[in-house]
Structure 1
């Protein structure tokens, strides 16, 4: 408890943490704030990277314009939860692709599975994919050209062209499509690496936030109970082990319990002791 020049006690609140807690905590807080600021800047940088779906949309439009026989194009991306159409030049493409995904057959799925270019006219498509071809008939698409997409050795989908012509695609079209496959794979590779980096940054920010909560909570325990930093952390670990609740969760709840409270006399310190003993019962409530 602090005193003024007349010797009377002065109340110290939780908001006066740097004055009431051990001095070393202020340095920790400053360091954590600096790290959090840098992580925030990196997050902003990553958010500024163009949306990969938008890049794939532009690519799909480009390949449709470049290949005369193509009336529409799309990109199928296969993820753990299943395939999805990441880009399409026409809503009809998404509808056609959904039929492939539902029936489990079709040129884009074959290309993605076999890692080979698939080029089929209407007669071939009707024979190879009878369910798919019949269900999509009203779309008017008769020929299909699909090329596999691979990123870092992992097969991730297919770039698909659609034609109203019964014999819409030839070998030259298939060769030209390879150029656009390289561009699509580059876009997917970039977003995959950004995604991995984003996960690292998010984990680091969460770790810093967790450490900040623990450090602040240790400071409150030191001040309220008059114990050392080491003893304060021992108390937190004991409560965590005894209640089977993570230290981080206990600290976050104890900080909420302590917000705006003044720990200045024995009665209040006793109350803090009760809060510490029962904090696990309020976690998540």
Structure 2
């Protein structure tokens, strides 16, 4: 069983292929429709392993958000990686990139705050919102009235936010916020799974380079096994925000300490 297959049993967020809209909604008693939700979870879990790479997983997450989170009309993910500026990936509409750019420029907005302090931020009328005076009125001019943002824990070196938008006022209820929190949690799990598989695939493709780098480290630092040498490479990769095989190639080329 692959890493993605194992994660699939626990992750529901990335089914964007089913084509059937099953919103996470509240029933008349204010509780989620568990039967529908269970069916959705199962269907999404079965198709998670079909996503071929990180980009496909990102695209599946935002499409699933629009398809399954009640009130969401368009969505995107903001990523903040060590050594890089914050950026928007996999927007479902171009307006997402435009709205997010205002948040990044002004350092205001639900997305920026969600990444900073891990709270959920919901607003039902950006035109009247006073928490982000430099951002909110501009976002409203782009046509966004409601917004819901969740921080994603992705890796030690990458943080992100899942951002949901609507053109309608008060599009997201408290119940939707709770359902979306679960959605965002599993989105983070899905991204970690996709990134882990991508890293493993890259490691296999570049195993000779990585093997040479491990040998250099073992000889230079008197390490007694390859596992310890590999951990040094992984730590250097995380600290530098460089792919593992690039760190290994750099070490071989320059023969310097990491």
TM-score (norm: length of structure 2)? 0.56
Are positions 1:173 and 2:176 aligned together?
A: yes
Structure 2: 5+ residue stretches without partners: 1-49, 214-251, 254-258
Paired residues of 1:125 and 1:143 also in contact (CA < 8 A): no
Shift of 1:141: 0.3
Shift of 1:160: 1.0
Of the structure 1 ranges 51-60 and 117-126, higher mean CA displacement relative to structure 2 is found in 117-126
2:121 corresponding residue in structure 1: 118
1:236 corresponding residue in structure 2: none
Q: 1:155 to 1:128 in 2, by over 3 A?
A: farther
Q: CA RMSD in A?
A: 3.1
Look up the SS of the partner of 1:182 in the other structure: helix
> In structure 1, which of residues 118, 141, 150 is the aligned counterpart of residue 153 of structure 2?
150
1:96 corresponding residue in structure 2: 99
1:55 corresponding residue in structure 2: 57
Q: How far apart, in 2, do the equivalents of 1:193 and 1:100 lie?
A: 30
Look up the SS of the partner of 1:88 in the other structure: coil
1:20-55 per-residue CA deviation (whole Å, 9 max, x = no partner) reads xxxxxxxxxxxxxxxxxxxxxxxxxxxx97122222
Q: 1:191 to 1:125 in 2, by over 3 A?
A: farther
| Greater fraction of residues in helix | 1
Paired residues of 1:112 and 1:155 also in contact (CA < 8 A): no
2:76 corresponding residue in structure 1: 74
Q: What are the equivalent positions in structure 2 for 1:108-257 lying under 5 Å apart?
A: 108-122=111-125, 126-151=129-154, 156-197=159-200, 200-201=203-204, 204-206=207-209
Paired residues of 2:123 and 2:129 also in contact (CA < 8 A): no
Paired residues of 1:149 and 1:155 also in contact (CA < 8 A): no
Q: 1:103 to 1:125 in 2, by over 3 A?
A: farther
Corresponding pairs, count: 167
Paired residues of 2:124 and 2:169 also in contact (CA < 8 A): yes
Paired residues of 1:148 and 1:155 also in contact (CA < 8 A): no
1:73-108 per-residue CA deviation (whole Å, 9 max, x = no partner) reads 111111120211122211111111111112111111
Look up the SS of the partner of 1:100 in the other structure: helix
Paired residues of 1:69 and 1:168 also in contact (CA < 8 A): yes
Are positions 1:106 and 2:109 aligned together?
A: yes
Of the structure 1 ranges 115-124 and 140-149, higher mean CA displacement relative to structure 2 is found in 115-124
1:65 corresponding residue in structure 2: 67
Q: 1:207 to 1:113 in 2, by over 3 A?
A: closer
Q: How far apart, in 1, do the equivalents of 2:191 and 2:86 lie?
A: 15
Structure 1: 5+ residue stretches without partners: 1-47, 211-247, 250-285
Shift of 1:190: 1.6
Of the structure 1 ranges 60-69 and 152-161, higher mean CA displacement relative to structure 2 is found in 152-161
Q: 1:154 to 1:206 in 2, by over 3 A?
A: closer
Paired residues of 2:79 and 2:158 also in contact (CA < 8 A): no
Paired residues of 2:127 and 2:137 also in contact (CA < 8 A): no
